[in-house]
Amino acid sequence: MFGDINGYLAVYSQALDLRAHRQQVLASNIANADTPYYKARDFDFKAAFAEAMGRQAADGHLALSRTHDGHLPLASDALEGVNLQYRTEHQSAVDGNTVDMDMERAQIADNALQYQMLTQFVTQKLQGMRSAISSNQG
Protein backbone atom coordinates (compact mmCIF):
# COMPACT_ATOMS: atom_id res chain seq x y z
CA MET A 1 0.00 0.00 0.00
CA PHE A 2 2.76 2.47 0.88
CA GLY A 3 4.43 1.77 -2.47
CA ASP A 4 1.24 2.89 -4.18
CA ILE A 5 1.13 6.08 -2.11
CA ASN A 6 4.78 6.80 -2.95
CA GLY A 7 4.08 6.34 -6.64
CA TYR A 8 0.97 8.46 -6.38
CA LEU A 9 2.80 11.33 -4.69
CA ALA A 10 6.10 11.02 -6.63
CA VAL A 11 4.99 13.53 -9.27
CA TYR A 12 4.24 16.14 -6.62
CA SER A 13 7.46 15.39 -4.78
CA GLN A 14 9.51 15.95 -7.93
CA ALA A 15 7.66 19.19 -8.70
CA LEU A 16 8.22 20.47 -5.15
CA ASP A 17 11.93 19.61 -5.30
CA LEU A 18 12.30 21.48 -8.59
CA ARG A 19 10.37 24.50 -7.30
CA ALA A 20 12.56 24.63 -4.16
CA HIS A 21 15.71 24.40 -6.28
CA ARG A 22 14.48 27.19 -8.56
CA GLN A 23 13.82 29.37 -5.52
CA GLN A 24 17.45 28.86 -4.46
CA VAL A 25 18.70 29.79 -7.94
CA LEU A 26 16.58 32.94 -8.00
CA ALA A 27 17.66 33.88 -4.47
CA SER A 28 21.28 33.46 -5.54
CA ASN A 29 20.67 35.91 -8.38
CA ILE A 30 19.30 38.49 -5.93
CA ALA A 31 22.16 37.90 -3.50
CA ASN A 32 24.63 38.64 -6.29
CA ALA A 33 22.86 41.72 -7.65
CA ASP A 34 25.84 43.91 -6.74
CA THR A 35 28.56 41.47 -7.80
CA PRO A 36 30.44 42.77 -10.84
CA TYR A 37 30.18 40.54 -13.94
CA TYR A 38 27.72 38.17 -12.25
CA LYS A 39 25.40 36.58 -14.81
CA ALA A 40 21.85 35.83 -13.67
CA ARG A 41 20.87 32.16 -13.96
CA ASP A 42 17.60 30.28 -14.20
CA PHE A 43 16.19 27.08 -15.66
CA ASP A 44 13.11 26.07 -17.57
CA PHE A 45 10.89 24.41 -14.98
CA LYS A 46 8.66 22.74 -17.58
CA ALA A 47 11.63 21.18 -19.39
CA ALA A 48 13.26 19.98 -16.15
CA PHE A 49 9.97 18.52 -14.91
CA ALA A 50 9.29 16.81 -18.25
CA GLU A 51 12.77 15.29 -18.20
CA ALA A 52 12.32 14.07 -14.62
CA MET A 53 8.96 12.52 -15.48
CA GLY A 54 10.38 11.02 -18.67
CA ARG A 55 13.10 9.29 -16.68
CA GLN A 56 10.48 8.04 -14.26
CA ALA A 57 8.31 6.68 -17.07
CA ALA A 58 11.28 4.97 -18.73
CA ASP A 59 12.32 2.86 -15.77
CA GLY A 60 9.47 3.19 -13.30
CA HIS A 61 11.45 5.25 -10.81
CA LEU A 62 13.85 8.13 -10.73
CA ALA A 63 17.42 7.05 -10.14
CA LEU A 64 20.65 8.98 -10.35
CA SER A 65 23.16 7.69 -12.86
CA ARG A 66 26.59 7.83 -11.27
CA THR A 67 29.69 7.16 -13.33
CA HIS A 68 31.91 6.38 -10.35
CA ASP A 69 31.27 4.72 -7.00
CA GLY A 70 32.86 7.67 -5.21
CA HIS A 71 30.32 10.15 -6.55
CA LEU A 72 27.85 11.43 -3.99
CA PRO A 73 24.15 11.10 -4.75
CA LEU A 74 22.02 14.19 -5.26
CA ALA A 75 19.58 15.16 -2.55
CA SER A 76 16.82 14.70 -5.12
CA ASP A 77 16.90 12.84 -8.40
CA ALA A 78 14.61 15.49 -9.93
CA LEU A 79 17.51 17.95 -9.86
CA GLU A 80 19.54 15.75 -12.20
CA GLY A 81 17.62 17.10 -15.20
CA VAL A 82 18.08 20.76 -14.30
CA ASN A 83 19.98 22.63 -17.00
CA LEU A 84 20.96 26.01 -15.56
CA GLN A 85 21.09 28.67 -18.24
CA TYR A 86 22.26 32.25 -18.21
CA ARG A 87 19.28 34.55 -18.32
CA THR A 88 18.83 36.72 -21.39
CA GLU A 89 20.14 40.18 -20.67
CA HIS A 90 17.43 42.82 -20.85
CA GLN A 91 19.35 45.79 -19.57
CA SER A 92 23.11 45.97 -19.42
CA ALA A 93 24.82 47.33 -16.35
CA VAL A 94 28.09 49.25 -16.33
CA ASP A 95 29.74 46.55 -14.20
CA GLY A 96 28.59 43.68 -16.45
CA ASN A 97 26.04 42.31 -13.96
CA THR A 98 22.87 40.96 -15.65
CA VAL A 99 20.59 40.73 -12.59
CA ASP A 100 17.34 42.63 -13.16
CA MET A 101 15.87 43.03 -9.67
CA ASP A 102 12.34 43.63 -10.92
CA MET A 103 12.42 40.42 -12.97
CA GLU A 104 13.98 38.45 -10.11
CA ARG A 105 11.33 39.63 -7.65
CA ALA A 106 8.56 38.74 -10.08
CA GLN A 107 10.05 35.29 -10.72
CA ILE A 108 10.52 34.64 -6.97
CA ALA A 109 6.91 35.63 -6.27
CA ASP A 110 5.59 33.44 -9.09
CA ASN A 111 7.71 30.46 -8.06
CA ALA A 112 6.68 30.83 -4.40
CA LEU A 113 3.03 30.92 -5.44
CA GLN A 114 3.47 27.77 -7.55
CA TYR A 115 5.21 26.05 -4.63
CA GLN A 116 2.40 27.02 -2.25
CA MET A 117 -0.23 25.74 -4.68
CA LEU A 118 1.59 22.41 -4.94
CA THR A 119 1.81 22.04 -1.15
CA GLN A 120 -1.90 22.81 -0.78
CA PHE A 121 -2.72 20.28 -3.50
CA VAL A 122 -0.65 17.58 -1.80
CA THR A 123 -2.28 18.42 1.54
CA GLN A 124 -5.74 18.05 -0.01
CA LYS A 125 -4.77 14.71 -1.58
CA LEU A 126 -3.50 13.40 1.75
CA GLN A 127 -6.61 14.62 3.57
CA GLY A 128 -8.71 12.83 0.97
CA MET A 129 -6.77 9.61 1.51
CA ARG A 130 -7.08 10.00 5.30
CA SER A 131 -10.82 10.52 4.95
CA ALA A 132 -11.17 7.46 2.71
CA ILE A 133 -9.18 5.30 5.13
CA SER A 134 -11.12 6.45 8.18
CA SER A 135 -14.49 5.94 6.47
CA ASN A 136 -13.56 2.33 5.63
CA GLN A 137 -12.63 1.53 9.24
CA GLY A 138 -15.97 2.34 10.80
pLDDT for 75: 52
Domain boundaries along the sequence of the chain: 2-137
CB 79 within 8 A of CB 18: yes
Q: Which helix (H) or strand (E) holds 20?
A: helix 2-31
Q: In sequence order, what are the residues at sequence separation of 6 or more whose Cβ sits closer than 8 angstroms to the Cβ of residue 84?
A: 25, 41, 42, 43
pLDDT for 23: 97
The predicted-structure confidence for 28-69, as pLDDT tens digits, reads as follows 999 999 999 999 999 999 999 988 888 765 555 445 555 666
Gyration radius of the chain over CA positions: 19
Quote the pTM value.
0.76
In this predicted structure, which of 27-31, 41-45, 92-96, 115-119 has the lowest mean pLDDT?
Answer: 92-96
